[in-house]
Amino acid sequence: SRAADTPDRPAGELAEAAAAVLRSNDNGVTLVAAPELYPHQWSWDAAFISVGLAHLSVPRALAELSFLVRAQWRTGMIPHIVFGDSGDYFPGPRRWRTERSPNRPAGVATSGICQPPVHSIALAAIGDVARRHGATERRAFDEFLRATLDSWLAWHVWLATARDPGETGLFEIHHGWESGMDNSPRWDAPYSRVVPGPMEPFERRDILHVEDINERPTDADYRRYIWLVDQMAEARYDDDVIARTIDFRVGDVFSSALLAQASDVLAELAEDIGRRSAAEQLRTIAARFRRGVIEAVSPETGLARDRDRITGEWLSTATIGGFAPMLCGGDDGILAGQRAKLLGPDWCGHPALRYALVPSTSPNDDAFQPSRYWRGPQWPVINWLFAHAASARGDAELSETLREESLRQLSDASFAEYYHPFTGEPLGSRYQSWTAAVALDWSA
Ligand code: 2M8
């Protein structure tokens, strides 16, 4: 274990507190993403959560991923929410109406969209922990890998085909929720063109579970979110029909970088168990998306851009999406420029920041809002992704800086969903599982 005392709270104590959050968010079957706000299993949350759980028990971590895999659609899609039996959340299964699709999984209720493909990155991290824990956990890991490799492969293949049929190297999302960064300014322009018509009324539940509703998306945002859900239900979740009819179609650069990174990592795991042709297939996917991400870098700003597929327009607001190359690599010059920018005054080096961590939007961008969700606050899981990728690339200095600053931020033990970048105040949900998970990984 790493020596890492923070000024405010020793790492051992923080790890204990984080472990307690994970235990208390375990409903006996799965971990809820957050106790009140998110009372179900979310796809990319589950990946981060499993990395934290591995420090407590590798089999328990793998069980979390099994629960998710069981909900995989016949197309290969891993759904963004796996619903439990209870929990006050909107939209629930009744609004998603995924029973209209012949491709939905049997015996489990899910949403009908996806989230960023970070699962294999988590899986490899669990494998590292398992190796350190000895033969029994190592064996459990290998068995799980053999049993689920085809599921993860099918998931990546689905993203690379159904969502990038033209082999552009950026896969397409059909809802801001698919990016995991719901109301990020990344999506302002495409959402401005989503104009909801008459729709079945609905009642938001999310605003009941946060201190200040201004920390959440607006009502106008939600109308668009649900409008798109209704459009997909109308299309019976048929990938081809949705691609032709949905009002939101954007090439997501950040998730494409994660797909490249995760495909490389999964290729290595596949090789470990002698699955050579699967590994080759995954490396081809990785290469395509790495190229797509590098091609999306703006020569003016040096930041990567999403692309609106309906208008063809590049989207260049200064958000964390811009640093996608720092996840998947692909061009040393671009990477060096991005590293300097990330640590510079528009980002981690902004003089007003309480902790030198990556804010979700640059404080110097017009769209920046310091306490509103994905429009400015710092998200521990995102900082974990950048730290983890830096460490994998051999950039221990960046990885350690992000870890140390994050441990200082997290030392209040509120395990908030996100943090005010200037005051360090916890925002959104408290005892958020994925925040506890990365805190545990950083301090274990
Ligand atoms: C947030 O998204 C959900 C919808 O999926 C919501 O606001 O209701 C996002 O932060 C997303 O990235 C995250 O996976 C989810 C659960 O933590 O919450």
Pocket test for ligand 1, best of 21, 25, 38 (most atoms within 8 A of CB): 38
From the CB of 42, is ligand 1 less than 6 Å away? yes
Q: Is residue 2 a part of any domain in this protein?
A: no
pLDDT digits (tens, 9 = 90+) for 86-96: 889 999 999 99
Q: How many Å from the N-terminal Cα to the C-terminal Cα in the chain?
A: 6
Q: What is the pLDDT of residue 4?
A: 39
State the Cα–Cα distance between residues 380 and 92, nearest whole angstrom. 27
Strand partners, 173: 250
Q: What would the mean pLDDT of 67-73 be, rounded to a whole number?
A: 98
Q: What is the pLDDT of residue 291?
A: 98
From the CB of 379, is ligand 1 less than 6 Å away? no
Q: Is residue 5 a part of any domain in this protein?
A: no
Domain holding 226, by residue range, is 11-438
Q: Is the ipTM of this complex over 0.95?
A: yes
- In the reported structure, the alpha carbon of residue 46 is separated from the centroid of ligand 1 by a whole-number distance in angstroms of 12
Q: Is residue 443 a part of any domain in this protein?
A: no
Task: For the full predicted model, state whether its pTM sits above 0.95.
Answer: yes
Any idea what the CATH number is for the domain that residue 123 is in? 1.50.10.10
pLDDT digits (tens, 9 = 90+) for 377-413: 999 999 999 999 999 999 999 999 999 999 999 999 9
Please answer whether residues 285 and 152 qualify as being in contact, where contact means their C-beta atoms are separated by less than 8 angstroms.
Answer: no
From the CB of 33, is ligand 1 less than 6 Å away? yes
Q: Is residue 1 a part of any domain in this protein?
A: no
Cα distances (angstroms) measured from residue 266 to each of 103, 151, 235, 260, 271: 25, 11, 32, 10, 9
What average pLDDT is seen over the chain? 96
pLDDT exceeds cutoff 70 at 47: yes
Cis preceding linkage at 426, omega within 30:
no
pLDDT exceeds cutoff 60 at 286: yes
Please answer whether residues 430 and 385 qualify as being in contact, where contact means their C-beta atoms are separated by less than 8 angstroms.
Answer: no
Q: Is residue 4 a part of any domain in this protein?
A: no
Structure tokens at 363: 């404080």
pLDDT digits (tens, 9 = 90+) for 303-359: 999 999 999 999 999 999 999 999 999 999 999 999 999 999 999 999 999 999 999
pLDDT exceeds cutoff 80 at 107: yes
Q: What would the mean pLDDT of 118-136 be, rounded to a whole number?
A: 97
Count of domains observed in the chain = 1
Q: Is residue 23 a part of any domain in this protein?
A: yes
The total number of residues shown for the chain amounts to: 444
CA 206 to ligand 1: nearest atom: 8
